[in-house]
Amino acid sequence: MAYDIRSLRLAKKIRQHDLAQSLHMSPHELKIVERGFIMPNTDILERAAQFFQVSIDLLTAAHYQLGRTTPAGEGYVTAIPEADFVLPRRSVPALDKPAIVDLFCGVGGFSHGFELTGYFQATLGVDLLPDRAHTFAHNHQAATVFCGDIQRLSLETIAAATPMPYILLGSPPCQGFSSLRPFRTLREKDPRNTLFEYFALAVAAFQPEWFVLENVVGLLTHEKGKTFKTMLDLLAETGYSIDWRVLNAAAYGVPQRRERLIVIGSRQRRTFVWQDPTHYLDERFRSMAGKKYAPMTSLPLFRQALPPAISVMEAIHDLPDIAAGEMSHRYADDIPMTDYEKRMRGTETQLTLHDATAHTPNMLNIIRHAGYNRSALPPGLTTSGFSTTYSRLEPDLPAVTLTVNFVHPASNKCIHPCQDRALTPREGARLQSFEDKYQFIGTRSQIVKQIGNAVPPLLGKAVAEMIASQI
Ligand SMILES: C[S@@+](CC[C@H](N)C(=O)[O-])C[C@H]1O[C@@H](n2cnc3c(N)ncnc32)[C@H](O)[C@@H]1O
């Protein structure tokens, strides 16, 4: 059965004109909604769901699908829309909170971290993937979300949909941006513009107080450093003062040694003060770039006075033991929680996303033999893979960087420290510092990718606090 408004209307033999009246919209509006030319806003979806007595999620999904397959003809002009669909904000942004516009927003780990300070509020997000857009919208009710290729979206459309951004956040994928195109300058509507250039143009157009660009550390060495240098040169054209560091999430309270390059720009050309880590992480676990470009408490004595970085088991040991292929919806109540676990669990009473991959008998055999790196396996058990594949996480250390495939043991070190299975999506979310109440929307495999691709919220919070302290 189809759940779009037109199909539901025809099934009930209701005239278009009459339905339009019941949904408080004009017949013309209903016509274009029914044909999928625009995504109905939340009010219309709610009224239609109530009218037809169907779930709003089914209606939303049907209209999203309709938008992608809209037929041409019958007098309609089919221009390529700027976005595949738009999810309107569900609440009015608070006037007293500086607005964040998050380009390449993903599920919003970065924005969520900023919101955790209680100071900032996301008012707009853009992402290419529908599941990311829905998850972002669900967790950032004051944000309008555009789903589609950002390069089709005009800066004017963004500007019209949000209060003036105070902070522009962005994690633009940098594929395609190479230093090989010489003499680049920031020019709008250049068809050769890359996603990074879109971000830089948005900074120039919106003039936020601050911009924050997040990326992988590999960008520093790409093309022997030329790519990053070209990017900094382009960003400098905006007139902002710019500074950057490599931050390790484990040094800011995330149970994961995930390093990210953070570039910050100030419109008022303030000198940015990077704050020292809040947790101690042994030098052994920092990459070369992390050692060289990270803010650090200067004296080793002070460093060691910090609480140690949060370990894997301190983050997940309150979750019930389950075997491969099993799931559980109940928290283990008899286990005393660590402070981190209390923070993550909050007031949730029902456990979600704690379902383990059903491994094949062959994989279970590998897992049973697995140690902290691949060389722990008896010879011949696996044929290929890096040294950290088919390996267990160390229980007493923060996790290694989570990948987008952490429910499969062939991925980087993602077997549970003491149970014979890969991590569950819930365990992955904990290691990324998403509280249990953060809702992920999509299929299980989409959700795993959503979690693995995100900026850990507590890392976002640390960056947000650095900015807030300078306002
Ligand atoms: C590293 S992720 C962002 C993570 C996000 N900052 C977070 O904290 O959850 C990069 C995102 O860019 C999105 N993306 C890639 N190409 C895009 C495009 N052309 N237009 C819009 N979004 C795009 C991807 O779908 C992905 O979600």
Average pLDDT of the segment spanning 390-402: 97
Mean pLDDT (whole number) for 214-229: 90
Lowest mean pLDDT among 31-40, 358-367, 459-468: 31-40
pLDDT digits (tens, 9 = 90+) for 166-187: 999 999 987 666 665 666 777 7
Q: Give CA–CA dist 167/102, Å, rounded.
A: 8
CA distance 425 to 174: 27
What tokens does 61 get?
């999904």
Rg (CA), the chain: 24
CATH class of 5-68: mainly alpha
Instruction: Judge contact between 462 and 253, C-beta under 8 A.
Output: yes
What was the pLDDT predicted at 75? 42
Spatial distance between the Cα atoms of 155 and 276, rounded to a whole number of angstroms = 36
Select 85-305+458-468's CATH number: 3.40.50.300, 3.60.70.12, 3.40.50.150, 3.40.50.11140: 3.40.50.150
Measure 194 CA to ligand 1 centroid, in angstroms.
14
The ranges assigned to domains in the chain are 5-68, 85-305+458-468
Give distance in angstroms: CA of 41 to centre of ligand 1: 23
d(CA 446, CA 132): 9
Whole-number Å distance, alpha carbon 127 to ligand 1 midpoint, is 5
Pocket of ligand 1 (CB under 6 A): 104-110, 126-129, 132, 149-151, 171, 173, 195, 453-455
pLDDT of residue 344: 98
Cα distance between residue 354 and residue 316, in whole Å: 11
Per residue in 251-274, pLDDT (tens digit) is 999 999 999 999 999 999 999 999
Check residue 278 and give its pLDDT.
Answer: 94
* Beta carbons of 320 and 427 less than 8 angstroms apart: no
pLDDT category at 104 given cuts 50, 70, 90 is very high
User: For 35-153, where are the alpha helices, taking DSSP H only?
Assistant: 42-52, 56-68, 109-116, 130-139
* Average pLDDT of the segment spanning 99-123: 98
pLDDT tens for 140-172 read 999 999 999 999 999 999 999 999 999 999 999
In a mutational test of the pocket of ligand 1, which residue from 103, 127, 145, 247 has the highest number of ligand atoms less than 8 Å from its CB?
127
pLDDT of residue 210: 98
Global confidence as pTM: 0.83
Q: Give me the phi and psi of 273, to 5 degrees please.
A: -105, 110
Nearest to 251 by CA among 218, 274, 276: 276
